[in-house]
Structure 1
């Protein structure tokens, strides 16, 4: 869909999965200064010591969890972090419980390593919240791990502390691992307590937390992420890391140090704007015929549903071809999502208004 849109003129993208803000100046300056200072060699495979130290302090302050630098591995973005976490876990006979819809990376990685995926459906009428009891009831003799993503891509759903607590507690009791993708953890748009898995576990052996600077600091192209777990798990992950990317980008790691030392003012400004866009998008979705929305609480996505049995992929393709509005078809995010599509509000409010000015009358003409 995005590739087709690239060949067309006058397309409005509601498909973008990265921040539209500029990277904060102090982060850019740190990156450039690292290059000028000759910081272009390899770091330790676990990461730049200064970055490991800043991450350790950051998570201890935010979650109250005691960590050492040996609990952290710096990676080439959260994608590598999730790749490593799934690679050391998935194998034939091992089942992974994954929310449906979810980010498209997880299920293919599990299957690539011979594992089995068991989707846990969520519903738009419940804001795509996971029901912890449904997750617990889905656990079977082959269940090896549960993957969580809060705030969620594609739904923007933020799981409350009681959901995280219930799932992590039951997983620990049954010896099941929890892999948590927390890349949108700073983009909380309502007055909510963010629940990191790290703050709800007593045993790091059973959890792996992946995150990055990409979304919170508008630096996705610098590709710096990390994974947090027990020292034993991190030691195992480092072996895989050594034979994939070896080390993360050195100047970009110095940019990450500047991000953590620079405070959250730049994040707060982005969150304020995302909140303004979210409020408007929710209203516009409610005014669009055949779309059923909800209230996304984080990130910069909404995942509205269409009437049952509607092929959202076909609809999205015709929308692109006929009115030049690009969204991401729902089936990219899960087996039960054919009648949905993802809308990103990581674009200007003017572009959002223009897109819906095209969509609303066009959708009104569709026979569903």
Structure 2
């Protein structure tokens, strides 16, 4: 039988990267005591008032077909939200609604990219980026995010990789898996490159409300000098502890949204009205769920860094935002995968850094999303595992 080439482009992408997560879930299902720090599920349920808003909307009959752009009340709420943040008007027709950031990103790339073009992406990168880029027929060009630069994307490193086929720069700020946040200077330098080479900027800002105290978030959409070439994607999955509701969006210029509408309607024909009503309520004010998560995740990252650096030879990159911390395990003498496999035997599941790109080889990603007691248990097991490796090396 014949298949579309898109399936060949996607073959082998995605599943293998989650090997440690799958193994951990199997062990937990078998009754083993494993602390799962592999993925970024929020550590609290979706807020009760949002759940009730969705239920009330369903009971009120908000289960009919939607507007192809997304429900108008949600687009109005999002336009008001972004206008307040950007300091300039945003029209509801600059917004398209999708089931989550992932679908929004897929649609945006299908609207911008084409077979043979290139998308510049920081390495390490979120695990699904390769897939959404490959689906469009474009090619990923990884740009190293260097630990000595705080894992922030460097305009100089970008410039060295821009070529005649470059179509877009895909940003993720705040960044997964590193927790880095691009500065205003970083954004301006990247914007100048985009203007000079006529490139799009796609900005995944799903962690915007999980920026830790003392850190300033800047969106490239805020820069009027190049905002017309910026498309932002985001959702309520992280900020409102609601990943299962699958409610996201993209915001760009009126021209971009109008052009993308036909693709959006072909894919989805709008989002579910009852979820749109819930989301409109969610984005109309700062998220209390995010406020609590910011404080807890920052505290857990500090605890982990202090413990590991004081008691082991492991290094820790302290995140500025998000749900994860990075641990440098190169001192163990093991690859990141082998370290993670050994740690799994010790009762803690983490993600090997190489699952997110070559630059993060020798690091592991630790989710900060379990309760404090379990996180302290996991941190203690990491210390014991690291010390056991040091003892093995000494004996050898």
Q: Which 10-residue stretch deviates more, 43-52 or 255-264?
A: 255-264
Q: How many angstroms does 1:324 deviate by?
A: 1.7
The one of 53, 76, 100 equivalent to 1:77 is 100
SS in 2 for 1:303: strand
Name stretches of at least 5 consecutive residues in structure 2 with no aligned partner.
Answer: 1-19
Matches of residues 41-80 of structure 1 in structure 2 within 5 Å?
41-80=64-103
SS in 1 for 2:151: coil
Q: Which 10-residue stretch deviates more, 196-205 or 157-166?
A: 196-205
Where does residue 272 of structure 2 map in the other structure? 249
Alpha-carbon contact 2:67-2:269 (below 8 Å) kept:
no
Alpha-carbon contact 1:303-1:340 (below 8 Å) kept:
yes
1:174-194 deviation line (CA, Å, top 9, x unaligned): 201111000000111131221
Matches of residues 145-224 of structure 1 in structure 2 within 5 Å?
145-224=168-247
Where does residue 330 of structure 1 map in the other structure? 353
Where does residue 315 of structure 1 map in the other structure? 339
SS in 2 for 1:178: strand
SS in 2 for 1:267: helix
**What TM-score, normalized by structure 1, do the two folds share?**
0.94
Alpha-carbon contact 2:318-2:326 (below 8 Å) kept:
no
The alignment's C-alpha RMSD in Å is 1.8
Task: Count residues with an aligned counterpart.
Answer: 367
Aligned partners of 1:77, 1:59: CA distance in 2, in Å?
A: 18
Where does residue 131 of structure 2 map in the other structure? 108
Aligned partners of 1:264, 1:186: CA distance in 2, in Å?
A: 8
Aligned partners of 2:84, 2:311: CA distance in 1, in Å?
A: 43
1:306-327 deviation line (CA, Å, top 9, x unaligned): 228742112212221x212111
Alpha-carbon contact 1:125-1:294 (below 8 Å) kept:
no
Where does residue 6 of structure 1 map in the other structure? 25
Aligned partners of 1:249, 1:303: CA distance in 2, in Å?
A: 37
SS in 1 for 2:177: coil
**What TM-score, normalized by structure 2, do the two folds share?**
0.88
1:187-218 deviation line (CA, Å, top 9, x unaligned): 11131221011102434441110001111111
Residue 293 (structure 2) pairs with residue 270 (structure 1): yes
SS in 2 for 1:179: strand
1:330-356 deviation line (CA, Å, top 9, x unaligned): 122113323121101011111111001
SS in 1 for 2:121: strand
Aligned partners of 1:310, 1:29: CA distance in 2, in Å?
A: 49
Aligned partners of 2:380, 2:92: CA distance in 1, in Å?
A: 51
Kindly report structure 1 stretches of 4+ aligned residues shifted beyond 4 Å.
none
Aligned partners of 1:293, 1:127: CA distance in 2, in Å?
A: 12
Alpha-carbon contact 1:310-1:338 (below 8 Å) kept:
no
